[in-house]
Amino acid sequence: MKKTIICTVCPNGCEVVAEYTSKDDVQLSGNRCKRGVEYCINECFDPKRTFTSSVAIKGASRRRMPVRTSAPIPKDMLFACAEEVKKVTLSAPAVCGQTVIADILGTGVDLVACMSLDKKED
Ligand code: SF4
């Protein structure tokens, strides 16, 4: 199998070509350094992304709280995560870093708040 990957580990953005038959038989070309090797192998066999979104919040000055996963999760679970966040409504006050959904979809990764929002004064 052959795959072209843009390495995003650093701003160089090398275009890396991976040719492989299995995880133990991967030939890479185009990477300018070794740091891209792990990234490209993961992109071939276990691509992951940090999920970002927002959830509803009641009683704050804003209606939405930005959230993200505390670590990258499997890329093929991003749409399922988007469905999960629709089910959540926070209540102010909320603190940056607080867990919004623990172990989202059994990934072992938490969805966390990205900002602090106080309770709105009436
Ligand atoms: S292969 Fe190395 S130099 Fe190229 S983008 Fe990845 S980390 Fe940067």
Cβ-proximal residues to 108 (8 Å cutoff; 6+ apart), any chain: none
| pLDDT of res. 35 | 94
| pLDDT of res. 79 | 98
Instruction: Check pLDDT > 90 for residue 122.
Output: no
Question: Is 10 a pocket residue for ligand 1 (Cβ < 6 Å)?
Answer: yes
Domain membership flag for residue 68: yes
Is residue 33 within 8 A of residue 93, CB to CB? The reply is no
Ligand 1 centroid to 8 CA: how many Å? 7
- Band (37; pLDDT cuts 50, 70, 90): very high
Question: Is 12 a pocket residue for ligand 1 (Cβ < 6 Å)?
Answer: yes
Atom of ligand 1 nearest to the CA of 34: 2
Same domain, yes or no, for 12 and 64? no
| pLDDT of res. 69 | 98
- Band (98; pLDDT cuts 50, 70, 90): very high
Domain extent, residue 25, equals 2-46
Instruction: Check pLDDT > 80 for residue 13.
Output: yes
- Band (70; pLDDT cuts 50, 70, 90): very high
| pLDDT of res. 107 | 97
Same domain, yes or no, for 56 and 102? yes
What's the number of domains the chain is made of?
2
From 32, 38, 42, the mutation candidate for ligand 1 (largest count of ligand atoms within 8 A of CB) is: 32
Is residue 71 within 8 A of residue 104, CB to CB? The reply is no
Same domain, yes or no, for 34 and 68? no
Ligand 1 centroid to 66 CA: how many Å? 30
* Mean pLDDT computed over every residue of the chain: 96
